[in-house]
Structure 1
């Protein structure tokens, strides 16, 4: 979509045209590889608006030194009416300063595209399956799940903005031993609902009160039919009912964060459909699985009851792992790894790329599951990229003090508790203010603090200031006199104009936090723009004696506000109108 080409891409195309011209002149070979040529803002804004490494990258192929090639490139660029200045820096980098009208046209482009500014067709409609949250269905969402949920959902929004078709998937781990524990715990609450005094919850069962309503529903549905029966009579039924009740609770909790999945895949259904067996057969046929004896645990004496057992092993050492990994246990049950590789093989049949959002405690399994999926998909004639993003836990604080929780008593801070206290948007944006693999503290007091040190407040306050100014102005913003805007005002456009490029870069890196970082920088630039008027009245947005300048500044403010709303929309956060 040509109308959505970013400003940076447009100037990259201009530089590409210059390189075409140098090929025609014989200064560059016709087969020169341009893949590593970049056009992007310099790290130091004082160096210009854009910089390119074209001469550095192509000099060797041109059999020239970089500065000599840079001089030829600059000679062509200086003829471009949109480029005010092109100069060579250091060993051959080229810095460009653009004409002011380029930035004025960019303000108009933002206005023209509106809510579509920053959208891209980079993804070309390719399907990406993003699996996130996937908490065991044994209780309500807690803050341990929150960060991965937000990162995954924001990544989905980002990829959609960048032109991908996204499937949001939740993998329901309903086939392991933990769901049997859930069923037994629900049966205890079922007996309690029937009037039995159950006393303290036995060790090994889930103690939380959240299972009381589940027990009551089971009592209403079945009466005393399963109160005294053998476990074999009710376990499968109670497992099915309990998992369904937990998933209903999980969906409700996630909806408080504005998170809704497209697909819920059941591990139990996967196994019932014999998908792991099919994956094992394929891997055996292609030499990736063999029967072997697992090595004794390294670095410590093996348990007394340990004995070598022949198991089906995946050749993960061929992919950099330190040992081959079992896909089945000695009792014939599938290991987590065995079930996971079958699940990912199934997903890869329907998607062009896979992304999983995992807790950092799963870091040790990343290499082997990626290796298994690569073996399965490439062997099946498809190359399906698979990326895993690791998310660190969140440390909860209240006024700087850790929030106490007890796993034994079943007391923990639920996601619903947090959202109800501080709000969906505060939770979502805060979770994206640090890289997901970095440790994070979430202090209930600080995330709602009206301070520039609180990035949520600082950003929302910037947008509220813009909207308030537009409401109070008494003059309609228009672009008829954008020539009245000076360099200090156009600097705000330069900041906002980074947005389309940041969207594409963030989508390519699978890093939605880059959008939050960009919005923080844009908010800071706007606050500086606003505060300049406190020191110098001529810098204030509204100039009662000059309606033309006021209208131009209001138009600028309106478009910067649009960029902030677009960025927040990607992250699933609403922009506030007033504070």
Structure 2
């Protein structure tokens, strides 16, 4: 139940009861009405801009209209107080019985509280990570993996039908480099002294097992094969080994994709899918034969100073037209991107989300152009760019990995600080902003460590339940009707404030999903944890506020209902972020 959506409906109903509003109803835009928490909690429990956005259309002073609306709202038994502030904001304070009923609803719904239907079952494809299968995952992939995975979880919780997808770039020049690097390790496995790894090949030790596996299976047979046949075998084995490694790396981060889409399938059967995609664009008038001026700066690999097949992408929002086929008839990398997008569109996705590193900013306009041309406005495309992550240990930059050769692996980071610390901290800053990740700070057990602070709040809830069992040994918490117990009992202002923070959860879920900003959820969980810890600390000074009171059994049971609701929201939110909700922390 979304409190703010509920009162938006009530406010619009109150407006319809005002005769002056009814007379001009057709000319008024009710869609601009917003109900949200006041910036200052002391002003009330909810605030609306209804009077301010409708006053001009009504030809009225905003405060005068606010007074009219307020009089109608005062008739609602769930509203305890209505006030008008500033130029016409309407502040609402809710009744204690309303808060108690809302808390009872939270308890009954458990971890499903906050689940939304705002997505209306729309099919969304979230593609993230999609690293080249040329080695282990490195820390540069980590942030996009967490952001993409959490966003997909969040959209699913908000009512979308979500597919998590990984695009395997297994058809480019980097795969030739991978194969030659693996063949070098094959020679090494057969006893040859390969010396220093030549420049241009992948130097990491992770290819040693691939070389050994090739030696075990083929012996010296690969030596005598034509290079084309040898490379085909080595490519297949190397890609398979790299994808096993990548899947394992992602699993350590609790990232699991529904689909791994191979770029090679686009080139199969004479590149049938790419041909189909280009034919589709041609039919729609987006393809022509022509030449392109040389781009500024370094020339890209697919640029040619001769006539070729081009995508008329400037007519659909791009900066320049893009080559689809080279003069020799071969397809460009971009042609595969077009075919891949068309494949997604043909699979019925109404929205495609790409989570990319900040260095892929140049892809945004071309992808948007492809979407407009292929879907003809029938699908939505969003590109989320994740800024760099800088690793530190006690303020000092972290050195490179020996295993990988030239970077810090994702697995090394997870193994050192733990999956939960990595995931939560990758979300604890907006993805479009750079992130400093300090190994020491994310593992310290203090309130300054966000992930510890939030997880400790859940563990504290579980501890309270155990304390209640100690105070009342005959209490079977699992069998208690906590939803009924809170009615008429939970009424202290600090308890109501905690319920108010819980009530924000459905709104946060919808807002984070619609804006595609999963960091909002991490911030909210930290705020909720702070509210719980603050209330707990007040109980130290005021025994009457403690959750467990061995002299008041019924009040204790009611307050266990509040604890249950807090624990459920924390567990729900942490699950969306892909982190655990611990029962106990030491």
TM-score by length of 1: 0.94
Task: Find the residue that maps to 2:32 and give its secondary structure.
Answer: coil
Which residue in the other structure is 1:346 paired with?
343
For residues 185-200 of structure 1, the aligned pairs below 5 Å read 185-200=181-196
Change (3 A) 1:531 1:294: same
Of residues 7, 11, 16, the one that matches 1:15 is: 11
Which residue in the other structure is 2:384 paired with?
389
For residues 494-573 of structure 1, the aligned pairs below 5 Å read 494-573=500-579
Contact 2:103 2:562 in 1 (8 A): yes
Cα offset, 1:134, TM superposition: 0.4
Cα offset, 1:368, TM superposition: 1.6
Task: Find the residue that maps to 2:464 and give its secondary structure.
Answer: helix
Change (3 A) 1:572 1:342: same
Cα offset, 1:492, TM superposition: 0.6
Of residues 295, 298, 301, the one that matches 2:293 is: 295
Q: Does 1:49 align with 2:45?
A: yes
Of residues 69, 77, 82, the one that matches 1:81 is: 77
Task: Find the residue that maps to 2:25 and give its secondary structure.
Answer: coil
Q: Distance in 2 between matches of 1:183 and 1:446?
A: 40
Cα offset, 1:25, TM superposition: 6.9
Change (3 A) 1:407 1:182: farther
Alignment: residue pair count = 569
Could you tell which deviates more after superposition, 281-290 or 121-130? 281-290
Which residue in the other structure is 2:420 paired with?
425
Cα offset, 1:233, TM superposition: 2.4
Task: Find the residue that maps to 1:264 and give its secondary structure.
Answer: strand
Which residue in the other structure is 2:432 paired with?
437
Which residue in the other structure is 2:467 paired with?
472
Q: Does 1:282 align with 2:277?
A: no
Q: Distance in 1 between matches of 2:451 and 2:328?
A: 51
For residues 80-479 of structure 1, the aligned pairs below 5 Å read 80-272=76-268, 273-298=271-296, 308-329=305-326, 331-350=328-347, 351-378=349-376, 383-405=378-400, 410-473=405-468, 474-475=471-472, 476=475, 478=482, 479=484
1:215-253 Cα distance to aligned partner (Å, 9 max, x none): 111112222111243312211221122111111111111
Task: Find the residue that maps to 1:435 and give its secondary structure.
Answer: coil
Change (3 A) 1:113 1:44: same
Cα offset, 1:336, TM superposition: 3.0
Contact 1:319 1:367 in 2 (8 A): no
Contact 2:16 2:22 in 1 (8 A): no
Contact 1:59 1:65 in 2 (8 A): yes
Q: Distance in 2 between matches of 1:105 and 1:196?
A: 76
Cα offset, 1:408, TM superposition: 12
Contact 2:316 2:373 in 1 (8 A): no
Cα offset, 1:10, TM superposition: 1.3
Contact 1:29 1:61 in 2 (8 A): no
Task: Find the residue that maps to 1:388 and give its secondary structure.
Answer: strand
Cα offset, 1:335, TM superposition: 3.1
Cα offset, 1:125, TM superposition: 1.4
Q: Distance in 2 between matches of 1:509 and 1:169?
A: 20
Q: Distance in 1 between matches of 2:373 and 2:507?
A: 34
Change (3 A) 1:459 1:307: closer
Change (3 A) 1:362 1:149: same
Could you tell which deviates more after superposition, 22-31 or 427-436? 22-31
C-alpha RMSD of matched pairs (Å): 2.1
Structure 1 portions without partners, runs of 5+: none
Could you tell which deviates more after superposition, 249-258 or 528-537? 528-537
Could you tell which deviates more after superposition, 177-186 or 322-331? 322-331
